Chain A
Amino acid sequence: MSVLIYAENAGGTFKKSVFEAVSYARAIADQNNTTLTAVSIGNVDAAELATLGKYGANKVLNVSGNKLKDFVNQAYASVIAEAAKSEGSAIVVLSNTFSGRGLAPRIGVKLEAGVADGVVALPVQDGGSFKVKKTAFSGKAFATVELTSAIKVLSLVPNSYKVVETDGTAEVVDFKAEAKDSDFKAMIKDIVRASDKVSLPDAEIVVSGGRGMKGPENWGLIEELASLLGAATACSKPVSDAGWRPHSEHVGQTGIAVSPNLYIAVGISGAIQHLAGVSSSKVIVVINKDPEAPFFKVADYGIVGDAFEVLPQLIAAVKQYKASA
């Protein structure tokens, strides 16, 4: 009864969220005194596949070929479920990414497995019960879910589990899995990747702007600070509603929930809906000219001041820190 981790690649390479998920799955395998198998789908080279061993995978199943080179939800779910059956896996772990969120429920149905998505901690297994903590109410709370099925599917929130390096190595083997022709009804026409931008959901640092930035023409300051820190950019709902920034940057209860190590909010007052989406951030910095802004009540560090005066100084300070580091 092994543990299976789906190692999602982006253009042939694994991101940190995969190594977090592999480390997390390794810990679950250790809890159960069993092995960890990773399954990779798409064209990933052997050296990259082998890196999964460093985070605790004992074996890597490599599914390649042109038909499966790009992500097709239905087909990938079939392959992962096949891999789980072939390995006799009792627990399947995915990253709670956009793709993972589409796969987990399909895999759950295929394996008649309970699905806990958005998990943020290791499961507690006690006398046959299996309980795991997940986010709920858009970050305003956590729920502990008990899964009662024989097989369990978990999807792990990026940045919620640390990457743990081991001195292990993984055996990489080719895996032939069946996906029906009808699994390929959805056809990919185009993939557009903004290669210079840090992906928001799994970013370790996020710099976010609100109405206090006064207009889209001022976003250069947010982008410059983000670029210096290797951060993703984000915004509040009023900003995306006004069309200053794309909806894909909207962070909050009805946008993307983020859990970076550092969230810097500039000119955002901190409405309850915005706080819901960022409350899992490890450290929150708030820059706002209104000392009564509710965001200061949940911030770790704050600067009361005008964004247009503070940001250039902060950018200069980060440059100086970078130069001396």
Chain B
Amino acid sequence: MKILVCVSNVPDTTTKITFTDNNTQFNTNGVQFILNPYDEIALARAIELTDGGKGTVTVINVGDATTDATIRKALAIGATDAVRVNAKPHDAWYVAYQIAQYVKANHFDLILTGRESIDYNGSKVAGMLGELLDLPSVSIIKKLDAGDSDATVEREIEGGKEVLTIPYPFVAGAAEGVAEPKIPNMRGIMAARTKPLTVVEPVEVKTFSEIVSYETPAPRGQVKLVAAAETAKLVELLHNEARVI
């Protein structure tokens, strides 16, 4: 089985988010970038499914050379090889379009993404890839069991779950539950240095969206503390003051 895992390079989850240039640019100063946590889950499942020589796992990233460290981490975790589309990602459409061009030229049985990136939270690339490649897509899956000609996936729905079977090839966005992220070991880190990382140039594509400004949520006021023995007071405040119950 040939699996493609699409990975993003995102700010570390502990990052305090700030902006520059009159709130038009994300401030990357001092920010550590990591492999998107949901993509790590997708990668972990891909490695499990191909374990023992049952296939290959290629990771693909749309990014400039600064994302190579993240790609090498994916290789250290166990990916077979990697591809980087040499461009700053503009939006999900741009990223999906670049990846779709690569998939059209290189067949894969299964294409995995994370359910969303933790920076722009889009969960769009899986669906866009599915549409661009005319393949089924499931944007958020909680479980993935691979059979010979199709896979069984569980999809979260509001207040429950849905079980689907999907023939290969298809696209799926992995969420928690699909696999436990894997930590690279020393052997993996050493091996990653020599695994192939192919750099391809992007194709030209129109884009339809642009972030023009950012803002952070308005700060909340001082917490109003209620004594532990006065829970009735809290209920009264939630009813009369906050009006939420």
Measured CB to CB, the residues of A under 8 A from B are: 10, 15, 71, 73-74, 77, 97-99, 101-106, 108-110, 112-118, 131, 135-149, 182, 185-195, 197-202, 205, 229, 240, 246-248, 250, 253-255, 257, 261-262, 272-273, 276, 279-280, 282-286, 296-306, 309-310, 313-314, 316-318, 320-321
Known: A115-B92, A146-B210, A310-B231. 16 other contacts (CB 8 A): A71-B162, A98-B157, A106-B127, A109-B128, A138-B118, A144-B214, A148-B207, A186-B164, A189-B164, A192-B162, A199-B158, A248-B177, A261-B244, A298-B220, A300-B242, A302-B225
Q: Which of B211-242 contact A (CB under 8 A)?
A: 211-217, 220-221, 223-229, 231-232, 234-239, 242
Interchain CB contact (< 8 A) of B223 among A118, A301, A305: A301
Question: Residues of B with Cβ closer than 8 Å to A?
Answer: 11, 13-17, 19, 37-38, 91-93, 96, 118-128, 130-132, 134, 136-140, 142, 152, 155-167, 170, 175-177, 207-217, 220-221, 223-229, 231-232, 234-239, 242, 244-245
- Could you name 18 residue pairs across A and B whose Cβ atoms are closer than 8 Å? A98-B157, A102-B138, A108-B93, A115-B92, A136-B214, A137-B11, A137-B118, A192-B160, A198-B159, A199-B159, A201-B158, A240-B176, A254-B13, A283-B238, A283-B242, A301-B225, A314-B231, A314-B235
Report B222 CB to chain A, min CB distance, Å.
9
Q: 5 shortest A-B CB distances, which residue pairs?
A: A114-B208, A305-B228, A105-B127, A102-B139, A199-B158
Flag if B208 contacts A149 (CB, 8 Å). yes
Q: Are B214 and A285 in contact (CB under 8 A)?
A: no
Of chain B, the residue at the smallest CB distance from A315 is: B231
Q: Which of A145, A149, A255 contacts B212 (CB 8 A)?
A: A145
Contact of A142 among B38, B130, B215, B235 (CB under 8 A): B215
Interface SS of chain A: helix, strand, loop or mixed? Answer: mixed
**Cβ-defined contact, B158 with A300, below 8 A:** no
Which residues of chain B are near A190, meaning CB under 8 Å? 162-163
In the complex, the answer to whether B130 meets A131 with C-beta atoms within 8 Å is no
Q: Are A141 and B125 in contact (CB under 8 A)?
A: no
Contact A98 B159 (CB under 8 A): no
State A276–B17 Cα separation when bound (angstroms): 10
Q: Which of A189, A195, A198 contacts B165 (CB 8 A)?
A: A189
CA distance A298 to B186 in the complex (A): 41
The answer for the CA separation of A300 and B243 in the assembled complex, in Å, is 13
Nearest-CB residue, chain B, relative to A96: B123
B124 interface neighbour in A115, A149, A240, Cβ under 8 Å = A115
CB neighbours (8 Å) of B130 from chain A are 73-74, 106
Q: With the chains together, A282 CA to B243 CA distance in Å?
A: 11
Nearest chain-A residue to B158 (Cβ)?
A199
**Smallest Cβ distance from B7 to chain A, in angstroms?**
15
Q: Across the interface, do A301 and B121 meet the contact criterion of CB distance under 8 Å?
A: no
Contacting residues, chain B, for A321 (C-beta < 8 A): 232, 235-236, 239, 245
| Highest count of chain B CB atoms <10 Å: which of A186, A190, A195 | A186
A195, A282, A299: the one contacting B244 at CB < 8 Å is: A282
CA distance A320 to B163 in the complex (A): 42
Contact of B221 among A105, A117, A143, A300 (CB under 8 A): A300
Interface residue from B134, B138, B220 paired with A73 (Cβ < 8 Å)? B138
Say how far B31's CB is from chain A's closest CB, in angstroms. Answer: 11
The answer to whether A313 and B138 touch across the interface, beta carbons within 8 angstroms, is no
Closest residue of chain A to B157 (Cβ to Cβ) is A98
- Residue of B11, B167, B211, B238 near A301 (CB, 8 A) is B238
Q: Specify which chain A residues have a CB less than 8 angstroms from the CB of B238 in the assembled complex.
A: 262, 283, 285, 301
Contacting residue for A300 out of B139, B157, B220, CB 8 A: B220
